[in-house]
Amino acid sequence: MYYVTIGVMNMDMFQEILSSGFEIPVDEAFHPECILSGSGFGWFYSETKRTMVRVIRGSECLIFDKDPTNDSKVIVQIGNEVLSIPESELLEVGWN
């Protein structure tokens, strides 16, 4: 059980929180940072809205997985949108 206190936290409470079992999942696949290639805008299919969405190129992308309906596309998140984007439209920036 944890208590929220205002002011100074004593070391016993701090040690209890640290030893409570924070686990870092090691089975997650990590991907290097990618951006949407080009300049201007692009239109891509939004999985959440089920329609085409205009996205500014140069935006940072979080890659999830390959698109199960099309092997040449990947599912990415740009801002609040989950999009299906051709893999050729992504530029790998690296591990920044």
- DSSP assignment of 13-81, as one string? HHHHHHTTT----SSSPP--EEEE-SSSEEEEEETTTTEEEEEETT-EEEEEEE-TT-TTEEEEEETTE
Could you please state the CATH topology (level 3) that the domain comprising 25-94 is classified under.
Answer: SH3 type barrels. (2.30.30)
User: How confident is the model over 9-57, as pLDDT tens digits?
Assistant: 567 776 777 777 666 555 556 767 899 999 999 999 887 888 999 999 9
pTM over 0.95: no
Residue 1 scores a pLDDT above 80? no
User: How confident is the model over 49-84, as pLDDT tens digits?
Assistant: 889 999 999 999 988 888 888 889 999 999 888 999
* DSSP-assigned letter for residue 90: E
Q: How far apart are CA 81 and CA 77, in angstroms?
A: 6
**So what's the pLDDT on residue 48?**
81
